[in-house]
Chains A and B, each alone.
Chain A
Amino acid sequence: MSKRRRLSAAAFLWLPVGVVVSSHVAGGVTAQAADDARTIVEEAQRRTDAKSQRYEGLLQVFDARGRISDKRWTFERLGSHGQSRAVLRFVAPPEVKGVALLVVNHPDRASDQWMWTPAIERDRRIALQDRSTRFFGTDFSFEDLEERDVNQFDYVLAGEEPIDGFVCWKIQSTPRRTKSSQYTRSIVWIRKDTYALARIENYQKDKLVRRLDYSDIQNVQGIWTARRMEMADLTRGSRTRLTLDRLQYNLPLKEEDFTLQAIRRQ
């Protein structure tokens, strides 16, 4: 399998970047355009390739009534894209401290996910059927956390549009029949200057249900990375902001720390 084929849609932050592009642009879509779209996506992902990643995240949920709830976690990822494993561990507030999520990504199928609950010393598998549900009260779904293989989608270049003053490629992605997804299609904006993601809009049928905006994009160890992401659930009227602190790439992480036994130990 060529490197190009193995590139997944995973992005710099493990969070939903991978979704990419497809063909909802009506009529007039040429083979050349489709090919360009795929090339753009692959290049965007290539630029986010890293051996490992670690950050401390602040998750803020703003509900429709204006209430804000905060959670903090630490995130570590070993590998990139479809070959990666990640552990997310909540550190605050106290009532959720210690709860951990292990994600094992696969290039050819949906990831496996397990949750560890220290208070009852139990791990539980997050079933595939539950991936469309909200991720622990945030506006992200479990599916949004998956790193997807580029070959699971079809891409179509739908034009160019500026986001926050930066010119972006507008690319539509549609999951292939083999890919199980809650979304019918997604539209992704990739900045032309850095190949960094600027926005993703997710549709169910023709209804826009979630929008993810990337901001505060900085170059961290050579990788253009958004330090703040905001997912809006347009149905519920709520939004969730994820802010990344102490972000590092290519740290020496041990493979044995990314297993079910390991999250039980810690």
Chain B
Amino acid sequence: MLFRLISRPYFRRHVLRTMLTIAGIVLGVAVFVGMHTANQSVLMAFSQTVDRIAGKTQLQVTAGETGFGEEVLEKVQSASTVRVAVPVIEAVVDTNIRGQGNLLILGIDMTGDRSLRDYDLESGDDAVIDDPLVFLAQPDSVIVSNEFAGRNGLTTNSRLPLGTIEGEKLFTVRGIMKSSGLTSAFGGNLAVMDVYAAQKMFGRGRTFDRVDLAVADGRTIAECEAELGAMLGAGFTIEPPSGRGQQFEAMLAAYSMMVGISSLFALFIGMFIIYNSFAIAVTERRAEIGILRALGATRGQIRWLFLGESAITGVIGSLGGVVFGILIARGIAASIGSLITDVYGVAQQAGELATSPALLMVALGIGVATSMVAAVIPAYQAARVDPVHALQKGKYQVLSAGESRARAVAAAVLGAVSVACLAAPSIGGSAGGGSRPLFYTGYVLAVVVALLLSPLLALTLARTLRPILRWIRPVEGALAADSMIQAPRRTSASVAALMLSLALVVAFAGMARASYDSIIDWMDTAFNPDLFVLPSQSVVIRTIRFPKEMGAELASIPGVERIQMVRSARIVFRETPVMAVAIEIESLAETSARPPVAGDPAAMYRLTASGQGLMVSDNLAQLQQLSVGDMLEVPAPAGVIRLPIVGVVLDYSDQQGTILMDRTLFEKYWNDDSVNVFRVYLDDPASVPAVRQRILERYEGVRQVFVLTNGELKEYVLKITDQWFGLTSVQIAVAVLVAILGIVNTLTVSITDRRRELGVLQAVGGLRAQIRRTIWIEALSIGVLGLLLGFALGAINLYYILQIVHHDIAGMRLDYAFPTGVVVALVPTILASAFIAALWPAEAAVRGSLVEALEYE
């Protein structure tokens, strides 16, 4: 009843403001839904690809990304619990067809593979499938999916160019698979070829990526896992296909955490918009509330009236956010797909959106809850309105001395607790950053302190600004400053929203800058060869590799002084995918030695080079709680490597961490001497173009070779870094947008709130231009206050974010550096935004009816 009589007319009168309020929740929920849906879509697409390719596979035998020798297949096939076991190689290659991107090549042994997968043909000679001889005898044979063939107009016997280790090769489409689960894997960009031909085409030597198997009749999967586990040893992972999805998810853990933090921050900012709106609504409707209370409405009814309004706003905003989130999810998913390909070297596109009903319900719940939580304080305050004071307009916006004191005391106490939480780790002396719950408690408290202090600080700053504003524009400046001083609650809500947004921007920008600085510093030493020879255009795609013999060939090219062979592969260490980097450590020590984070520099390189120790990256040490002297156990196909950590070094090769070892150790334990990258040092650095040309000419038509200069590789790495931070830029933009919405909302309400005052001003001769300028100055002042507080909180927030990155996300030790450049750029951006946000409210103020304005209230 109250809602129909009171709330609905109010919303009708303030359609624009209501919409702006709802927009806050829409944006918050949309970012939450969009980010999570996109993230889930990519994960789902990967899992679906794994499932569809797995077919009837019950277990898969893998050894990380490195693969293993062919003899493992025979061992697996000999197990009593195995009915059928088949080898598999997966390679992602460039189709060289415009707009088609990458093609997932599935290398299989057609002789036995049909026990696990269906390869029914749509067209082409059945013999291609039925007669492996034809398929095997011609290594250029591929079978493509119906979907891929349809998109590219391919028919049987069409020629398809694909990038291989031997350069671009023309393959022959021997058959086109009927649409099925398998063919829809990897968005349909799937082709099948002989596993042994794939070994040759993609430089795999005599290794397989994995073995897919089905369990013998009458035996259980658990029995099979146990038998194979005992037979193969710790270097192998034996798990159902779904396990690969979990590994992929683990690899993206850092990214997922960033998504989570950002979307929660967006919701938090949205909450402030709601708080702002309801706080203002309570102020505006004090008279109404007073009358209701005088007529007998209870405090509970008033409280529930506002909470009900916020719930409805939350439902509408959340529904809009869900719809908008789903709309933007596809774009975000494409961006994530591209990011994953470029950063992690795992090509994956989300063909369809994983719109999980559970996620949508959670988003709805969070949206409504956020809206209601944001309205709790205004609703509580509305319920406490004294009918006698209800008509004393504006008084409510004043911050009483008692409340200010209470806020200051609470802030001081919580601030002290927050600092104590930070100090706790050093007291405990834990190398891992101490108690994480305490740290996060401290972080939350720091934000709460900032929010508690924001009205006081806004008031103080507004008072400080008053003389300046008055000096600039005696009338308009003073009026604008007084408006803020008299209504600190209204102003502070908007300032707080802006402060939070800017704190987020400063933190992300600072983190990005620190990352860039650290990565550039690392690259200057680690990437100091003159040239890099790669088998793929992408530095991170490791599915195509060079043979070791190529090292001697490159070394013999005139102008080449030294060659270093790098083999890097993701392996599973403590159930986490980390990067193993194998290189000639002795040579590396001579060319690229840099002071370790921990360990003796000379001993570190000497012991690692002689195979008596391992080096780990600082981020791995951080994430896995490792330090020099610890005995590392690294599972490998030929057994478990048990060696001490002899040094901790800075290395940003992988977000989950890196284990550095000598190549001889890798070759021994992985039985793999292939090479991902050749690092080439020249006699004369000035001869880079000439030697590069010689390398390209040496391998023209023989091998696919990409030669990057030092500068080009660094540029490539920085481009990837840009991509990583690209998504956060979008989130920052949304945060700023939400903050601007807050300013518009505040100003709109401020104008409405002061209609009578503004009307009187006009009636006594105030010019429209003066009124406009007053509002503009007020907007700009809110912007200035927001900037000042935002930068202050941002400086603190940056510290926390760097700690989180160090301890919980990537283990990266980033130096604190305030992002001055971004901060300088933000000043005009925010001020311009505030000014633009003020244009409409200012026009509304001067164009309204003077009579109506004077009659207001």
Contact = CB atoms under 8 A, between A and B. Distances in A.
Interface of A: 63, 69, 71, 90, 95-96, 98-99, 115, 117, 119-120, 122, 124-130, 133-134, 136-138
A134 B77 contact: no
A3 B136 CA distance: 40
Contacts of A95: 134, 137-138
Contact of A126 (B82, B83, B111): B111
Given A119-B139, A120-B200, A137 B133 contact: yes
Interface in B69-87: 73-74, 77, 82-85
A129 B131 contact: no
B133 A128 contact: no
A115 B131 CA distance: 14
Contacts of A133: 111-112, 114-115
B196 interface: yes
Given A120-B200, A129-B84, A137-B130, A99 B112 contact: no
Contacts of B137: 90, 95-96, 98-99, 117, 119
B197 interface: yes
A96 B196 CA distance: 16
- What DSSP secondary structure best describes chain B's contact surface? helix
B83 A96 contact: no
Nearest to B133: A136
A72 to B, nearest CB: 12
Q: In this complex, which of B82, B84, B137, B138 has the most chain A Cβ atoms within 10 angstroms of its Cβ?
A: B137
A168 B636 CA distance: 60
Contact of A125 (B74, B84, B200): B74
B110 to A, nearest CB: 9
B85 A96 contact: no
B751 to A, nearest CB: 78
Given A136-B131, A137-B130, A119 B138 contact: yes
A133 B138 CA distance: 20
Interface in B721-751: none
B126 A63 contact: yes
B139 A137 contact: no
Interface of B: 73-74, 77, 82-85, 109, 111-112, 114-115, 126-127, 130-134, 136-139, 194, 196-197, 199-200
Nearest to B77: A127
Given A134-B130, A136-B131, A129 B136 contact: no
Contacts of A129: 77, 82-85, 112, 115
30 contacts: A90-B137, A95-B134, A96-B133, A96-B134, A119-B137, A119-B138, A119-B139, A120-B139, A120-B194, A120-B196, A120-B200, A122-B196, A122-B199, A124-B109, A124-B196, A125-B74, A127-B74, A127-B112, A129-B84, A129-B85, A130-B112, A133-B112, A133-B114, A133-B115, A136-B133, A137-B130, A137-B131, A137-B132, A137-B133, A138-B131
Nearest to B196: A122
B111 A122 contact: no
A136 B200 CA distance: 22
A99 B200 contact: no
Given A122-B200, A136-B133, A137-B132, 10 more contacts: A71-B133, A90-B137, A95-B137, A98-B137, A125-B74, A127-B111, A127-B112, A129-B85, A130-B112, A137-B130
Ranked nearest first, the 6 interchain pairs of A and B with the lowest CB-CB distance are: A137-B131, A136-B133, A130-B112, A96-B137, A137-B130, A122-B196
Contacts of A136: 131-133
